[in-house]
Amino acid sequence: MTGAELANLVNEAALLAAKAGQQQVTMKDFSEALEKVQLGAARNVVMPEQERRRTAFHEAGHALLGMLQPGADPVRKVSIVPRGRALGVTLSTPESDRYGYDEDYLKGRIIGALGGMAAEEVVYDVITTGAESDLENATAIARQMVGRWGMSEKVGPVTILPSDGDPRMMGISDKMLSTVDEEVRRIIDECYGRAVDQLREHRHQLDGIVTALLDAETLDEPEIYAAAGIERPRTIPADQEPARATVPHP
Find the part of the chain contacting its own copies (CB under 8 A) among 18-26, 178-186, 202-210, 223-231. 178-186
**Closest distance of CB 167 from its own copies, Å:** 4
Of 12, 35, 59, 121, which residue is the catalytic one? 59
Cα separation, 66 vs 113, whole angstroms: 9
Instruction: Give 75's strand partners.
Output: 92
Cα separation, 212 vs 225, whole angstroms: 11
**Closest distance of CB 139 from its own copies, Å:** 4
The interface with its own copies within residues 27-46 (CB under 8 A) comprises 45
**Closest distance of CB 159 from its own copies, Å:** 4
Interacting residue with its own copies among 16, 17, 106, 199 (CB under 8 A): 106
Interacting residue with its own copies among 60, 180, 224, 228 (CB under 8 A): 180
Find the part of the chain contacting its own copies (CB under 8 A) among 29-37, 93-101, 199-207, 219-227. 93-101
Task: Report how far Cα 119 is from the mean position of its chain's Cα atoms.
Answer: 14
Task: Based on the shown chain and the rule CB under 8 A, indicate whether residue 189 belongs to the binding site for its own copies.
Answer: yes
The interface with its own copies within residues 50-69 (CB under 8 A) comprises 50-51, 54-55, 58
Cα separation, 76 vs 222, whole angstroms: 8
Residue number, 110 or 224, with CB nearest to its own copies: 110
Phi, psi of 68 (to 5 degrees): -85, -20
Range 148-182 burial, b when 16+ CB lie within 10 A, else e: bbebbeebeeeebbeeeeebeeeebeeeeeebbee
User: Would you give the end-to-end CA distance of the chain in angstroms?
Assistant: 17
Find the part of the chain contacting its own copies (CB under 8 A) among 17-25, 27-35, 159-167, 226-234. 159-167
Residue number, 180 or 212, with CB nearest to its own copies: 180
- The DSSP letter of residue 236 is P
User: 116: helix, coil or strand?
Assistant: helix
59 annotated active-site: yes
Active site residues: 59
